[in-house]
Amino acid sequence: MKRSIGAQSLVQPCPVFIIGTYDEKGVPNMMNAAWGGICCSKPPCVQVSLRSATYTHHNIVNNKAFTVNIPSVTYVKEADYVGIYSGRSVKKFKETGLTPVKSTIVNAPIIEEFPMTLECELIHTLEIGLHTLFVGEIKDIKVDEAKIKDNVPDIAKTEPFIYDHASQSYFAIGKYLAKAFEVGKKK
């Protein structure tokens, strides 16, 4: 028996995207965004949705570029930190000790310590309400050499985690369940 819980911005699970940008002075910033996901295969695109009040929103509008960095479980504290404070008042790279490396492809910083980074160029902006949806074309993906398997990131080694908005908690990825496009095939 199902019950209404009202209109809420809830799905399970949400990703943990750390968005990298530069401000006008070239100061690198990063913020935690759970409102996002892949939104096209050709060209490969990802959407991130941000409040206009955020510094990252301001930076994306200015630079038309951003990175989506995927943190490993070992960086849960840093990932949470960059979602609490604003780049307007703190230098988050300095505070966390994480290293910004300038992308050679887009005008945005790559977080060196995180295993995987999508380098994105802004191609669409959609005003929805409290949030603006930014569509970034993924121009390249950089992955730690040791965490690549068959030219894609090996999830057992990148060790991403998820955000559950319902409980406002982070969870690791659990056990392997099944092969997609396979387990559901009619024999």
Complex with its own copies: residue 25 or 42, whichever CB lies closer: 42
Task: Tell me how far apart the alpha carbons of residues 128 and 165 are, in angstroms, rounded to a whole number.
Answer: 20
Give the count of residues interacting with its own copies (CB under 8 A): 103
Residue 82 in the binding site for its own copies (CB under 8 A): yes
Q: Classify each residue of 8-27 as buried b or exposed e, where b means 16 or more C-beta atoms within 10 Å of its C-beta.
A: eeeeeebbbbbbbbbbeeeb
Q: In angstroms, how far is the first alpha carbon of the chain from the final one?
A: 32
Binder among 68, 98, 106, 108 for its own copies (CB under 8 A) = 68
Least spacing, CB of residue 161 vs its own copies, in Å: 6
Task: Tell me how far apart the alpha carbons of residues 43 and 76 are, in angstroms, rounded to a whole number.
Answer: 31
Binder among 52, 53, 62, 85 for its own copies (CB under 8 A) = 85
Per CB under 8 A, contacts with its own copies among 88-107 are: 95
Residue 145 in the binding site for its own copies (CB under 8 A): yes
In which residue are the tokens 């504290």 written? Answer: 77
Complex with its own copies: residue 21 or 106, whichever CB lies closer: 106
Binder among 52, 91, 102, 166 for its own copies (CB under 8 A) = 166
Which SS3 state, helix, strand or coil, does residue 9 take? coil
